[in-house]
C-alpha cells in the first residue's frame, strides 16, 4: 500500500503535498531547496520507490547503504538532525492523510517503521561522518576558452580528497541551491587547488552562468566526491573517449598516470563540434610529448570553424602527433576497429556516451569492459 502510493501516476502530487507540509512545519527547511522543486520531487519519489520496495521485500542491505550515502551527501545542503525529525513528522502526516480511507493499525505500524528507518539511517550516517559536508572555495581564474566553454580554477578553503576520475556537486553564487555535478579536471591537490571545465548547454541555467558570469573572487561550494571511473594499471591498454568537457575526468586520470614511469598504453579520442572547441589540445599534446604511452586523436564533427571562432583559433598538432579527424566520435572511434582488447572509458553528454557505447558494442567490444559515469542530470 505504501509502495503503491509512491509509484502511482499521481505520486508527484503526493510528494508535492509532503514538501508543502514539511515547509509549513519547519519553514527554514524551504531555504535549503532550490526555487524549482520539480527535480527534487522526482528524486525523492525515486528514493521512496526504491527504499519502500526493498523494505517491503525485507531487503535492508542496499537501502541502508543507499540511505547512509544520501544522509552524508545531504550535509552539504545544511541538513541537520532536527530537520530529520520534522521530515519524519511531515511524511507520516502526508501518507496517513492521503491513505486515510485505507489506514489500519497494521498500515500505521508499517508507515512508522519505514519512516523511522529512512530518517534514522540518513541522520545516523550524517552524524557519524567526521569530515565537513561541503568545502568553500574562491574562484582564482575564469578562462572563456571557447564561446560555450570555460575553465575555472579555484582555491578551496581546505583540501578535498577525491580520486582522479570522480565527480563532485557544485553550487555557484549566481544560482544558489541549484547544485550541479562537475568533474575535477586535475587530481586532488594537497594545497586545495581544483579545476573545472564547464560547457554551457542550451537553456541550461547553471552552466550558462558559470561560462558567462563567473568572476575571480566568486565563492563556490563543493561537495564530497562520488564515482568510480578508473584505470586498472594492470588491466591492459586503455581507450578513452571524451566529448567536450567530458574530457575533465579523463584528463585527471591521465595526469595522475603521468606520475608513473610505466603505464598501460592510452589512446584518447577528444571530440567537439568545431575544431576551435578542442580547447585543451595544447595541454594534452604537451603531456603526450613527454609520455610515450599516451596518444591523442582530436575529432571534430565539422571540419571548419564557425564565423564566431576568430577569438578561439584552431590549433595545429606538433609534428608527428595525430592530426584531427572529422566526424562524430562513435563513427571515428569505431573506424579503428572494435577495441575489444581495451579497458574503455567514455565521458561526455548522455547522448554521446550512449551512442559511442552502442557503436563499440556493435563492433565487438565487451560491455563489461566499458565504463562511464551515471547519466543523471
Residues that bind ligand FAD (CB under 6 A): 167, 180-183, 196-199, 201, 203-208, 245, 248, 349, 373, 376-377
C-alpha cell of residue 1: 500500500
> In the bound complex, what is the minimum distance in angstroms from residue 251's beta carbon to ligand FAD?
10
Find the residue with minimal CB distance to ligand FAD: 204
Nearer to ligand FAD, 244 or 343 (CB): 244
Nearer to ligand FAD, 20 or 69 (CB): 69
C-alpha cell of residue 175: 544560482
| Number of Cβ within a 10 Å radius of residue 15 | 23
Query: Is there a contact between 364 and 341 (Cβ–Cβ < 8 Å)?
Result: no
> In the bound complex, what is the minimum distance in angstroms from residue 186's beta carbon to ligand FAD?
12
Distance CA 291, CA 356 (A): 26
Phi-psi label, residue 275: left if phi above 0, alpha if psi -120 to 50, beta otherwise: alpha
> In the bound complex, what is the minimum distance in angstroms from residue 32's beta carbon to ligand FAD?
18
Nearer to ligand FAD, 91 or 299 (CB): 299
Distance CA 152, CA 185 (A): 10
Nearer to ligand FAD, 94 or 208 (CB): 208
Nearer to ligand FAD, 171 or 300 (CB): 171
> In the bound complex, what is the minimum distance in angstroms from residue 225's beta carbon to ligand FAD?
11
Nearer to ligand FAD, 313 or 375 (CB): 375
- Tracing cell 549566481 back to the chain, one arrives at 174
Distance CA 17, CA 80 (A): 22
> In the bound complex, what is the minimum distance in angstroms from residue 87's beta carbon to ligand FAD?
25
> In the bound complex, what is the minimum distance in angstroms from residue 300's beta carbon to ligand FAD?
18
> In the bound complex, what is the minimum distance in angstroms from residue 312's beta carbon to ligand FAD?
17
Nearer to ligand FAD, 182 or 288 (CB): 182
**Long-range contacts for 290-295 (Cβ within 8 Å, ≥24 apart)?**
290/258, 291/257, 291/258, 291/263, 293/257, 293/262, 293/263, 293/264, 293/265, 293/266, 294/254, 294/258, 294/265, 294/266, 294/268, 295/265, 295/266, 295/267, 295/268, 295/322
Reduced 3-state DSSP string for 249-292: HHHHHHHHHCCCCCCCCEEEEEEECCHHHCCCHHHHHHHHHHCC
Amino acid at each position: 500500500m505504501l509502495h503503491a502510493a509512491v509509484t502511482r501516476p499521481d505520486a508527484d502530487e503526493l510528494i508535492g503535498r509532503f514538501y508543502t507540509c514539511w515547509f509549513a512545519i519547519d519553514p527554514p527547511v524551504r531555504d535549503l531547496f532550490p526555487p524549482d522543486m520539480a527535480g527534487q520531487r522526482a528524486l525523492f519519489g525515486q528514493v521512496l520507490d526504491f527504499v519502500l520496495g526493498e523494505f517491503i521485500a525485507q531487503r535492508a542491505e542496499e537501502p541502508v547503504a543507499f540511505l547512509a550515502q544520501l544522509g552524508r551527501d545531504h550535509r552539504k545542503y545544511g541538513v541537520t538532525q532536527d530537520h530529520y525529525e520534522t521530515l519524519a513528522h511531515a511524511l507520516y502526516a502526508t501518507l496517513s492523510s492521503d491513505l486515510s480511507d485505507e489506514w489500519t493499525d497494521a498500515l500505521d505500524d508499517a508507515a512508522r517503521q519505514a519512516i523511522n528507518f529512512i530518517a534514522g539511517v540518513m541522520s545516523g550516517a550524517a552524524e557519524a561522518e567526521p569530515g565537513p559536508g561541503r568545502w568553500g572555495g574562491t574562484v582564482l581564474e575564469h578562462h572563456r576558452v571557447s564561446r560555450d566553454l570555460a575553465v575555472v580554477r579555484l582555491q578551496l578553503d581546505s583540501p578535498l580528497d577525491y580520486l582522479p576520475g570522480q565527480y563532485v556537486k557544485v553550487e555557484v553564487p549566481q544560482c544558489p541551491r541549484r547544485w550541479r555535478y562537475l568533474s575535477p579536471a586535475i587530481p586532488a591537490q594537497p594545497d586545495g587547488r581544483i579545476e573545472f571545465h564547464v560547457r554551457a548547454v542550451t537553456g541550461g541555467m547553471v552552466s550558462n552562468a558559470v561560462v558567462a558570469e563567473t568572476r575571480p573572487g566568486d565563492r563556490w561550494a563543493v561537495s564530497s566526491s562520488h564515482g568510480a571511473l578508473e584505470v586498472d594499471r594492470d588491466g591492459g591498454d586503455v581507450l578513452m573517449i571524451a566529448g567536450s568537457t567530458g574530457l575533465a575526468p579523463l584528463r585527471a586520470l591521465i595526469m595522475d598516470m603521468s606520475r608513473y614511469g610505466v603505464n598501460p598504453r592510452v589512446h584518447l579520442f577528444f571530440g567537439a563540434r568545431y575544431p576551435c572547441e578542442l580547447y585543451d589540445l595544447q595541454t594534452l599534446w604537451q603531456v603526450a610529448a613527454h609520455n610515450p604511452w599516451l596518444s591523442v586523436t582530436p575529432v571534430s564533427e565539422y571540419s571548419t570553424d564557425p564565423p564566431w571562432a576568430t577569438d578561439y583559433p584552431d590549433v595545429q598538432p606538433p609534428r608527428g602527433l595525430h592530426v584531427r579527424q572529422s566526424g562524430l566520435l562513435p563513427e571515428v572511434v569505431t573506424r579503428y576497429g572494435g577495441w575489444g582488447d581495451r579497458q574503455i572509458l567514455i565521458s561526455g553528454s548522455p547522448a554521446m556516451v550512449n551512442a559511442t557505447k552502442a557503436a563499440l558494442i556493435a563492433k565487438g567490444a565487451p560491455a563489461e569492459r566499458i565504463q562511464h559515469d551515471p547519466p543523471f542530470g
